[in-house]
Amino acid sequence: MTDILFKNINIIDGTGRKAYIGDVGVKDGKICTGEYPSAEVIDGNGLTLLPGFIDVHSHGDINYLDDFASLSKLSQGITTQVTGNCSISMFPIRDISDFTKFAKGFCGQPTFPENVSALSTPEGYAEELEKTQKRLNFAYYTGMGSLRLYAMGYSTDKPSERHMDIMKEMLARSIESGSLGLSTGLVYVPNCYSQKEEIFELLKVIKKYDAFYATHVRNESNRVIEAYDEALETAYEAGVTLFLSHFKAAGRTNWGKPHKILQKVSQYKAKGMKITLDHYPYLAGMTALNVSIPPEYRKDGNEKLAEYLADESIVEKIRQRMSAPVDDYENYVIACGGFDGVLVSSCPFDHSADGMTVSEYAEKVGMEPFEAYIDILRKNKGLGLAVYFHMCEDDLLEIAQYPDTVIGSDALFGMPGENIHPRAFGTFTQGYDLYVRNKGIFTAEEFVHRATGLAAERLGFKHKGVIADGYDADLILCDLSKLKATATYKNSNQVSEGIKTVYVNGKAAYTDGRLTGNFSGRVIKREK
């Protein structure tokens, strides 16, 4: 007898083949097709069953203990998230104070388990993660920023041989403990100080274990071609599998460049290189509000940044550095065409600018935009999240259709009452609505394949992403005709329409707009 039987239901199985009507059973967390006696029978009339979506680029580990973060994932059909991206993983931690400063650069309110000391080693993190109750499945990378912080703090120096040995040992231990591989975020302190040679040394470890390399490249705007060249060359020389994170080109002067970069990606693929791109279906990105401050003023953490912002002579130096394009760091304000393109999403202390562009706030308070930007950061001790409008729809659609492209939310969080990027609650349902219903670039089956079967294949998840006998019962019960995101840039924390129930390993984790009491998520470790 099965635990659940979905009877006479429309099935999109994640392989890309055409939808069909059939029966799907669930027993002991696994899928079994065909008709069986069942404890619970669900009439599939008018409904569709999909494999659970796989979020290949997530920062959910920074808030993995929070129900708010889990709700954002499950309510759009995500049953598996891959975390530790963009150079930040929640281990290894040598100094909790330094690490908290580091994590707050990505998320104003990171959450830590009661036993923080467990995060000091890769093995401790893996053990802590296993025993933590999880609402969805969880896989993770090891962040190079975390490794560098552990080995040498916020130093801007080239790592010594001893520093490199520490990082390489920690990376090897983390992969032995289950990590998928290495992630970099080459715009973030302290990972932005890492040069190609240093990255290459760590990729030697990745090669040894046949693990993955995921990178947020060094520049996504004016030097975007050079940045992707660096990523492709380094991974090719090291002989490793490459994941290009949130693939895009930011800023009007860079629109059209993704076409040229994709041509280069195809050339490397033709040489035998394994490459996957992830992206999100929005024209704006999101990261820290302070990311456009030159890195020399961010390198010592947000408390020190707040001190710098209180010094008018330093603020004037920051103004001069931010006023024109430079090659030594990525200025998101310039990439957005100015402060009109920077929306303050959420701030931790003073909320007077939340939901406004910096220019709108400047007009409200009677300041010029740069002064207003500094004012917001001062009031929030250097913290806050911002949405950056800097992408082109033609580029987005070309990226989405590239045969090696999958989907990742890249979501960051504030507190439950704070506004965030709509991708946190809507990436996958927005993607379906935009690509299938509005633009017609994919059939429903093609989109679901990108979000499930293809993602699982690229990550080596052998029992995820497809509705087939013996696969894990990660499933979405939905009304496909109503499937859409409701989250917006100014009202982000809204659950998607059309999602009825989401099952994780055979247990209902989300239903009728709410989380259930089931914690059936599991850790997915790298297959050896």
Percent of the chain at pLDDT > 70 equals 99
Say whether pLDDT at 3 is over 70.
Answer: yes
The token pair at 448 is 């679901």
pLDDT for res 181: 98
Planar angle of CA 395, 429, 434, nearest 5 degrees: 40
- Cα–Cα nearest to 120, from 174, 66, 60, 179: 174
Q: What would you measure as the largest C-alpha separation in the chain, in angstroms? A: 76
Q: How far apart are CA 84 and CA 142, in angstroms?
A: 6
- pLDDT tens-place string over residues 189-201: 999 999 999 999 9
Q: How far apart are CA 401 and CA 140, in angstroms?
A: 26
Say whether pLDDT at 301 is over 90.
Answer: no
pLDDT for res 64: 81
Place of tokens 């760590």: 202
Say whether pLDDT at 335 is over 70.
Answer: yes
Cite the beta strand spans of 224-366 per DSSP E: 241-244, 275-279, 284-288, 342-346
The token pair at 186 is 């080459």
pLDDT for res 184: 98
Question: Rounded to whole angstroms, what are the CA distances from 281 to 185, 346, 403, 434, 439?
Answer: 21, 21, 16, 8, 12
- pLDDT tens-place string over residues 152-182: 999 999 999 999 999 999 999 999 999 999 9
pLDDT for res 96: 93
DSSP letters spanning 70-110: HHHHHTTTEEEEEE--TT--S---S-HHHHHHHHHTT-SS-
Instruction: Grade residue 326 by pLDDT with cuts at 50, 70 and 90.
Output: confident
What residues form DSSP beta bridges with 20?
11
Is residue 398 exposed (0-12), middle (13-18) or buried (19+ Cβ within 10 Å)?
Answer: middle
pTM over 0.85: yes
Residue 385 phi/psi, 5-degree rounding, is: -115, 145
Decide which of 50 and 528 is more confident.
Answer: 50
- pLDDT tens-place string over residues 240-292: 999 999 999 998 889 999 999 999 999 999 999 999 999 999 999 888 899 99
pLDDT for res 416: 73
pLDDT for res 348: 87
pLDDT for res 406: 98
- Cα–Cα nearest to 240, from 130, 107, 111, 141: 141
